[in-house]
Chain A
Amino acid sequence: MNTEETLAAAAKILSDPPRPAEITRPTPTWMNALLASPDDLLPMAGALLDEHLGWLSCVTGLDPGIEAGYLEVLYHFSAGAAVITLRVRRPREIPAVPTLSDMIPIAEVFERELHEMFGVEIIGLRNINKLYLPEDWPDGVYPLRKDFDPAVLNVSG
């Protein structure tokens, strides 16, 4: 399957009712799919994997700023030259997404990083130990959020 065919097949899955994702193509090889609900994440990721339309290459957290009111999580699936990115937006106050780690083992390390850096809750993830941040890192401080204040670290030691 070449890149065009891969992306066409992915688009078909992602635009399935009842909640089609909002699909954009920033480049000829990259497809973005903004999911209507986090509940779509597992079935859509599963469908991509079943059809061999990519493997989970990376998970990126995004903080568009306090005014936006949400945090965004990007799940990048690579298939040859194609990259299919599933995007989920969650309210800033209680950001939570379901875990992909039962289906995709590598997701565990990506989700642990997402959790400690952005404070996104990963529902169903068993291992939420710190991955990169030190043990004595203060609770509730998420360094990759835009409102992270490094002064907090000096105060707590």
Chain B
Amino acid sequence: METSEKKELFTIPIGPQHPALKEPGSFRFTVDGEIVTSAEVRLGYAHRGIEKGAEGRSWVQSLYLLERVCGICSHVHATAFSLGVEQLAGVTAPPRAQAIRELVAELERVHSHMLWLGVAAHEAGFDTLFMYSWRDRETIMDILEGLTGNRVNYSANLLGGVKCDVGDPQRDTILKGIDMLEERTRHYLDVVTNDAVFLQRTHGVGTMTADQAELLGTVGPTARASGLGKDVRVDAPYAAYADFPVKIVTAEAGDLEARFQVRLRELFESYRLIREILDHLPPGELTARMPRRIKPAEAVSRVEAPRGELFYFLKSNGTDMPERVNVRTPTICNMTSVVKMVVGHQLADVPMILVGIDPCFSCNDRMVVVERKQHEAQGWTWEQLRRYGIDYYRQIHS
């Protein structure tokens, strides 16, 4: 322990989390009084060795492995992988399959953003909003289960197409559910835009300009909230996005409030797309023939996960097993922006800034280690840090 500096050192394990974040682990930062002066990210907590694992499995087995990189955005991983393998083999999935891929992707985006809304609300101490949004989210879970057979890890993709079709009963269920969710989303947008207590935690907090977002390689809604118009669905349409295009949603303020608004406004775009696809679903086959052995080639596959650009690099070697699968998840890009953004902010804002990039799911066992010069190292829980933020703002308000 140094004797010359009066800084306090916090280590916050972000907790075992979501691997759209590949592997979260800990977040070390130094605090001078109330202000954060430096930060570093150290991951590894959920590192399972998936890229190597794919090299020891067949292409088909790898699909099931890669679906489970992340349970919250499982479909986009499977889609990116399937599109990439199809590219290697020179195969195009039929139009109906691509449209269903897009349909499930947008349904997944809805579930993911609602999940995030609840988690973010919980971080801010707004548990009512957490309970309401997760209750409403059950509608999407039911829709996905009715369509694909599972609430999570839908496994809709096959190499060459999809395995689930959309019939009339499902269509009606989906449309009814979307109507309900759209009304609820309007309510949530009103809350995050107008609730004074909530705005205290988000307005003007964690601001990042478009230039900073660009320099730091930020992606997804986090980047779009700073005015950076990056969206793979628009920039490089894949699946059926050329036939069913999305209108990009951005904001200018670049603060936490903007990030809330962008994600919620994106949901309206998702609802619109879901209705449009259901109205104009192309007829035809669900799969195209795929060879078991893939000729030697390389491919790059990019899709827009709920958190931002997901980048896959694939290499085949003429066998039925991948030569190389490289997965670059969006949260690793956005984590860099958090590490830079958090400097200069106060401790009380850290939980919300972290959740603002949608690093996925909060876990109970996050621990913070506070090292102080004069005192023994103390163990804080993330719960304590979260409460610290809530109480801090409550005091200001009163």
Q: Do the two chains touch directly in the complex (Cβ atoms below 8 Å apart)?
A: yes
Interface residues on B, range: 35 or more
* Residues A62 and B315 in contact in the complex (CB < 8 Å), given A26-B298, A108-B336, A109-B335: yes
Determine which of B44, B214, B216, B236 lies in contact with A130 in the assembled complex, contact meaning CB atoms within 8 Å. B44
Determine which of A29, A61, A85, A129 lies in contact with B42 in the assembled complex, contact meaning CB atoms within 8 Å. A129
Determine which of A27, A78, A85, A105 lies in contact with B215 in the assembled complex, contact meaning CB atoms within 8 Å. A105
Most A CB contacts (10 A, CB to CB) among B41, B87, B335 go to: B41
> Can you list 6 A-B contacts with CB-CB less than 8 angstroms, sorted by A residue number?
A57-B217, A62-B315, A106-B336, A109-B335, A131-B43, A143-B52
Q: B236 to A62, Cβ gap below 8 A? A: no
| CB closest residue in chain A, given B218 | A106
Q: Is B340 on the interface with A (CB-CB < 8 A)?
A: yes
Determine which of B47, B217, B298 lies in contact with A56 in the assembled complex, contact meaning CB atoms within 8 Å. B217
CB distance from A72 to the nearest CB of B (A): 10
Q: B340 to A105, Cβ gap below 8 A? A: yes
Main secondary structure of the interface of B (DSSP, over half): mixed
- The number of residue pairs between A and B whose CB atoms lie closer than 8 Å in the complex comes to 80
- Complex contacts, A129 vs chain B, CB 8 Å: 40, 42
- Complex contacts, A58 vs chain B, CB 8 Å: 311, 313, 326, 328
Q: A109 to B332, Cβ gap below 8 A? A: yes
The chain A residues found within 8 Å of chain B, CB to CB, are 26-27, 29-30, 55-58, 60-62, 74, 76, 78, 80-81, 83, 85, 104-106, 108-110, 127, 129-134, 143-144, 148
Q: B326 to A134, Cβ gap below 8 A? A: no
In the complex, A37→B23 CA distance in Å?
33
| CB closest residue in chain B, given A78 | B302
Apart from A57-B217, A57-B311, A58-B313, what are 8 other A-B pairs with CB-CB below 8 Å? A27-B87, A55-B214, A78-B311, A80-B235, A81-B235, A105-B215, A106-B333, A129-B42
Q: B300 to A143, Cβ gap below 8 A? A: no
| CB closest residue in chain A, given B324 | A62
In the complex, A129→B309 CA distance in Å?
26
| CB closest residue in chain B, given A64 | B323
Q: A132 to B23, Cβ gap below 8 A? A: yes
In the complex, A78→B23 CA distance in Å?
24
In the complex, A134→B46 CA distance in Å?
10
The chain B residues found within 8 Å of chain A, CB to CB, are 22-23, 40-44, 47, 49, 51-52, 87, 214-217, 235-237, 297-300, 302, 309, 311, 313, 315, 324, 326, 328, 332-333, 335-336, 340
| CB closest residue in chain A, given B23 | A132
Q: A133 to B340, Cβ gap below 8 A? A: no
CB distance from A28 to the nearest CB of B (A): 11
In the complex, A57→B336 CA distance in Å?
13
Determine which of A60, A80, A109 lies in contact with B336 in the assembled complex, contact meaning CB atoms within 8 Å. A109
- Complex contacts, B47 vs chain A, CB 8 Å: 132-134
- Complex contacts, B40 vs chain A, CB 8 Å: 127, 129
| CB closest residue in chain B, given A32 | B298
- Complex contacts, B87 vs chain A, CB 8 Å: 27
- Complex contacts, A26 vs chain B, CB 8 Å: 297-299
Most A CB contacts (10 A, CB to CB) among B43, B44, B300, B324 go to: B300
Q: B300 to A85, Cβ gap below 8 A? A: yes
* Residues A55 and B217 in contact in the complex (CB < 8 Å), given A76-B311, A105-B336, A109-B332: yes
Q: B42 to A78, Cβ gap below 8 A? A: no
In the complex, A130→B43 CA distance in Å?
8
Q: B216 to A106, Cβ gap below 8 A? A: yes
Q: A57 to B309, Cβ gap below 8 A? A: yes
Q: A76 to B313, Cβ gap below 8 A? A: yes
CB distance from A144 to the nearest CB of B (A): 6
Q: B52 to A144, Cβ gap below 8 A? A: yes
In the complex, A56→B237 CA distance in Å?
19
- Complex contacts, A27 vs chain B, CB 8 Å: 87, 299
- Complex contacts, B324 vs chain A, CB 8 Å: 60, 62
In the complex, A108→B40 CA distance in Å?
11
- Complex contacts, A109 vs chain B, CB 8 Å: 41, 332, 335-336
Determine which of B41, B52, B300 lies in contact with A76 in the assembled complex, contact meaning CB atoms within 8 Å. B300
CB distance from A120 to the nearest CB of B (A): 14
In the complex, A29→B242 CA distance in Å?
15
- Complex contacts, A134 vs chain B, CB 8 Å: 44, 47
In the complex, A63→B309 CA distance in Å?
25
In the complex, A81→B51 CA distance in Å?
25
Q: B313 to A60, Cβ gap below 8 A? A: yes
